[in-house]
Amino acid sequence: MSVVGAAVRTNFYQRDEDGQPKARVSVKLLPRELSLLPEPRPAFEIWVYAPRVEGSHLRFGAVARGGLRWSDRREDFRTEVLGLVKAQMVKNAVIVPTGSKGAFFAKQLPDPSVDREAWLAEGKAAYTTFISGLLDITDNRQGEEVVAPDRVLRYDDDDPYLVVAADKGTATFSDLANSVARDYGFWLDDAFASGGSAGYDHKEMGITARGAWESVKRHFRELGLDTQAEDFTVVGVGDMGGDVFGNGMLLSEHIRLVAAFDHRHIFLDPDPDAERSYAERQRLFELPRSSWADYDTSLLSEGGGIHPRSAKSVPVSPQVRERLGLPEGTTSLTPHELLRAILSAPVDLLWNGGIGTYVKASTETHADIGDRSNDAIRVDGRDLRVRVVGEGGNLGMSQLGRIEAALHGVHVNTDAIDNSAGVDSSDHEVNIKIALTPLVADGAMTMEERNELLESMTEEVAAKVLRHNYEQNVLIGNGRSQREVMAPVHQRLIGYLRETAGLDPALEFLPDRKEWARREREGLGLTSPEFSVLVAYAKLGLKDALNDSELPEDPAMTQTLVNYFPGPLQEVAGERLQAHPLRRQIVVNEIANAMVNRGGVSFAYRAVDETGATLTQIARAFHVVRAVFDMNTFMAQVEELDNEVDTDTQTELYLEFRRLIDRGVRWFLNNRSLSSRMEQEIEHFAGPVQSLVPVMEELLQGTELDRWQERVDWARKRGVPQELAQAYASLLDSYSLLDVTELSMDMDRDVREVAEIYFGVSEAFSLDDLLTHVSNLPRPDRWSSLARGAMRDDIYGVMRGLARTVAERTTPGSDSVERVEEWMIENRDALVRTSQVLRTVGAMEEPSLAPLSVALRTLRGLVRQGSATD
């Protein structure tokens, strides 16, 4: 009965063209109402049953996307798809829809060895029936109106968004799916299934490999190697005819591919010439239906060879033995032994572009992995000797295998991070087609013109997609640089995401208490694979919260929506973009990506924890802060330093701006109302702040100016250009410009005058040193973090109060130093005790919260006395 109660739609009462009951039954369920189902439970499930096919489609939200696969698992295809949809949900954290996945099992297939064409035709027929069953009970759109399907009684809300994508066995079925959608008059038309004949071809774009290559380049930059300018050694899984492997192995002319394998052949080239081998790989990539057997063996280095995997034994030359790090005396290996040796070879990069799971953890059994076909060749993460892993393919490593490898020094993320560009480009395609549909319908554009426009925007779409891959790698690198000091915060973040974003720490293999204790003893924090999981859930939780808010409708978000689309589309569609059916979701996705990528994985959580604000309020403050401080310009300048300075230097620059974001967001939450005036706030603050930042050297005085110059010198010595070095050195002082600007508005004074007084006061009372002591306070728990943040805010409040009273009670027009001195003379009696306390605290090497609190209270008293009227 519980299953019946969870059923909200069916096509049971629909009729075919002859008025007869349809030869399929579709039922839509709400799995979260069924406690008998295993976790994770998606939001929606459609089950399709017919004589020739059975299938299940799972969605984690109303707006979701993912592939449909042709399953060969008759009894448990739902189990298969359930495992895939969780990974899809995590991968989709970077795009507009959440995760979905479907699988169908064709029940009347002929023997492919007898008649492959008939076998394929029946598979397509089963796929068509499955797609039809999904559309039978899916709402449609007619203009702005949502229309329910005929003869369907709905017990749920409107649900018109259904898209599918290619997957195992259905790579060439997109046009077929779109033809079914057209037969139904479905509003998405050929946006229903991306990648069809009028869509973005992933292999032609090479987009999945290019996205994963952003991870590879970042990993090697951290190791001091430029993959686009220096030779490096590679082993891989795949062949040059494949999309991900083939495209990937053409992304640098400095690749020295020493070994690779697919399901047919083993390729060995122990000492390749980078230039000649690149050209030969290019030839194979362009050769239809190529395999490693087509490689020109005359180009192989001494000792190399190409061998069938079916061989009983493969000869191992001295050159191969040395390259793969095999024991002395090894002259031959079985294919399985050789493949294990390739996977664990001591080379620079392992590039996975194949199908299967090849790396597990030593704590896992092969049965735990569920990929029996590769049990004989799978290796443990601790046995990898590569420096970097690039996961162009899906599920090439188990998550525990990744973590184990990372703990042993391998640079590796997750497949969801590395190969997200494929699903990202498909999502852009769908949203672009949706935007253009009204223009085609109104006759403003023909379908041919639409298709030409799509093609013309290919590289701009690719650039937007690759931007996500790049930024997420920066984000993970930034997180890893703070993994030890921020470990307590990351532990609390996991608890927060468990409560608010559906994170199951055990299911995602995150550290338990025992493992956290071990890592704390050994000075370890989270690994990149673990950060990758937190990135996904941080974005998913943020998007869930913002989707239910009024933020996407705010006029200040208009440009955020427009900027999502390529320039040519912005020009063609114009104001029509604001009527995009997924306007809200696109805006939310862009804001969530920016907040996490630039603010940090724990940014939103810490802001909630320390201010009590809602995620919507925090998002508003973030939007204002990034505009006021011109975040995009600073970040672009740091990115331009790739391979010019080391990544540690770039990370320091990124983190310094993140500190500014942290403090700026808290300032706006505590001092301004942003409920409906983001544009006005940006207008008020951006001009004054951006006018003063370039002259920070002129505003600072004494020891603060010395500190500023030291930071400039530090950056310059590491290769940072002068202008950017000065901008970096000015970042945290720039935060004070918010107080300065508000003071100037409140007092109707020139902002430069107020700034000079403000920094003069800070120098006179050594408030910069006091802030440094506060920043050095430990934060082992939540209350320590809150106390530290509150004290920092109070010190800035003292600076603001002192600046106000000096500005109000001294002679206008005088030099700022003279005005501060004038005020101090007038208040010399009150200054005696203050100076004594500040000197005592300043003499301490690492003052704790107690003496800092006393110093703060003394300064507050000085503000009260100094501002008292005669």
Residue 142 main-chain phi, psi, to 5 deg: -125, 100
Residue 867's pLDDT band, with cuts at 50, 70 and 90, is: low
pLDDT tens digits, 452-487:
999 999 999 999 999 999 999 999 999 999 999 999
Taking CA atoms, 230 is separated from 151, 233, 275, 642, in Å, by 65, 10, 12, 14
E runs forming strands in 85-210: 98-106, 140-142, 145-147
Does residue 869 have a pLDDT over 80?
Answer: no
Q: What is the pLDDT of residues 100-125, one digit of tens each?
A: 999 999 999 999 999 999 999 999 99
Asked whether 79 and 177 are in contact (CB, 8 A), the reply is no
3-state SS of 18-71 is: CCCECCCEEEEECHHHCCCCCCCCCCEEEEEEECCEEEEEEECCCCEECEEEEC
Mean pLDDT calculated for residue range 228-257: 98
Give 411's DSSP letter. B
The DSSP result for 595-650, as a single string, is: HHHHH-TTHHHHHHHHH---HHHHHHHHHHHHHHTTHHHHHHHHHTTBTTB-HHHH
pLDDT attached to residue 747? 92
Q: Which of these, 108, 139, 7, lies nearest to 581 by C-alpha position?
A: 139
Taking alpha carbons only, the member of 298, 331, 306 closest to residue 317 is 331
- Tens-place pLDDT, residues 531-564: 999 999 999 999 999 999 999 999 999 999 999 9
Is residue 537 within 8 A of residue 504, CB to CB? The reply is no
Find the catalytic residue in 22, 28, 86, 101: 101
Q: Where are the domains of the chain?
A: 2-197, 231-419, 749-870
pLDDT at position 576 is 94
Of 64-73, 362-371, 533-542, 809-818, least confident by mean pLDDT is 809-818
In order of 291, 294, 306, 473, the CA distances from 315 in angstroms are: 20, 20, 11, 40
Query: Tell me, what's the pLDDT at 778?
Result: 85
Is domain 2-197 annotated with CATH 3.40.50.10860? yes
The residues, ordered by sequence, that sit 6+ positions from 495 with a Cβ below 8 Å of its Cβ are none
pLDDT at 866 (0 to 100): 61
The per-residue pLDDT for range 409-446, each reduced to its tens digit, is 999 999 999 999 999 999 999 999 999 999 999 999 99
| Shared fold status for 2-197 and 231-419 | yes
Q: Which of 76-85, 216-225, 279-288, 570-579 has the lowest mean pLDDT?
A: 76-85
Residue 789's pLDDT band, with cuts at 50, 70 and 90, is: confident
User: What is the edge-to-edge ordering of all strands in the sheet holding 349-352?
Assistant: 305-308, 265-268, 255-261, 232-237, 349-352, 388-391
Q: Which two tokens stand for residue 290?
A: 């190529």
Q: Is 28 a catalytic residue?
A: no
Is residue 645's pLDDT more than 50?
A: yes
Q: Which fold has domain 231-419?
A: Rossmann fold (3.40.50)
Q: For 814-819, which contacts have Cβ atoms below 8 Å and span 24 or more sequence positions?
A: 816/753, 816/756, 816/757, 816/759, 816/760, 817/701, 817/760, 819/757, 819/760
Instruction: Write the CB contacts of 156 (distance below 8 Å, at least 6 apart in sequence).
Output: 8, 9, 28, 30
Q: How many Å from the N-terminal Cα to the C-terminal Cα in the chain?
A: 81
Q: What is the pLDDT of residue 772?
A: 86
Residue 607: per-residue pLDDT: 96
Element (H, E) at 455: helix 447-456
pLDDT in tens, 594-630: 999 999 999 999 999 999 999 999 999 999 999 999 9
Convert the pLDDT of each residue in 732-764 to its tens digit.
999 999 999 999 999 999 999 999 999 999 998
Instruction: Show the tokens assigned to 780.
Output: 């082992």
Confidence check: pLDDT of 498 > 70:
yes
Tell me the pLDDT band of 814, cut-offs 50, 70 and 90: confident
Q: Which two tokens stand for residue 579?
A: 């009527």
The two tokens of residue 206 are: 């090479």
pLDDT score for 39? 81
pLDDT of 870 strictly over 50 = no
Structure confidence by residue, pLDDT tens digits, 278-311 = 999 999 999 999 999 999 999 999 999 999 999 9
Tell me what pLDDT residue 3 has: 86
For the cut 90, the answer to whether the pLDDT of residue 696 exceeds it is yes
Residue of 490, 591, 502, 498 whose CA lies nearest to 531: 490
pLDDT in tens, 16-59: 999 999 999 999 999 999 988 888 899 999 999 999 999 999 99
Q: What value does the mean pLDDT take over residues 348-353?
A: 98
The residues with which 49 forms a beta bridge, in sequence order, are 25, 54
In degrees rounded to 5, what are phi and psi of residue 237?
A: -120, 115
**320-324, 676-680, 866-870: segment of lowest average pLDDT:** 866-870
Dist CA 865 CA 870 (whole Å)? 10
Amino acid of residue 744: S
Q: What is the pLDDT of residue 359?
A: 98
* Average pLDDT of the residues of the chain: 94
Share of the chain above pLDDT 90, in %: 81
- β-pair type (332-333, 314-315): antiparallel
CA distance 734 to 237: 50
Residue type present at position 461 = V
Q: CA 664 to CA 615: how far, in whole Å?
A: 15
| Residue 865 clears pLDDT 80, i.e. is over it | no
Separation CA 38–CA 82 (nearest Å): 9
Contact 173, 166 (CB under 8 A): yes
Average pLDDT of the segment spanning 697-723:
97
pLDDT tops 70 at residue 868? no
Question: Can you tell me the distance from the alpha carbon of 334 to that of 315, in angstroms, rounded to the nearest whole number?
Answer: 9
pTM of the model: 0.93
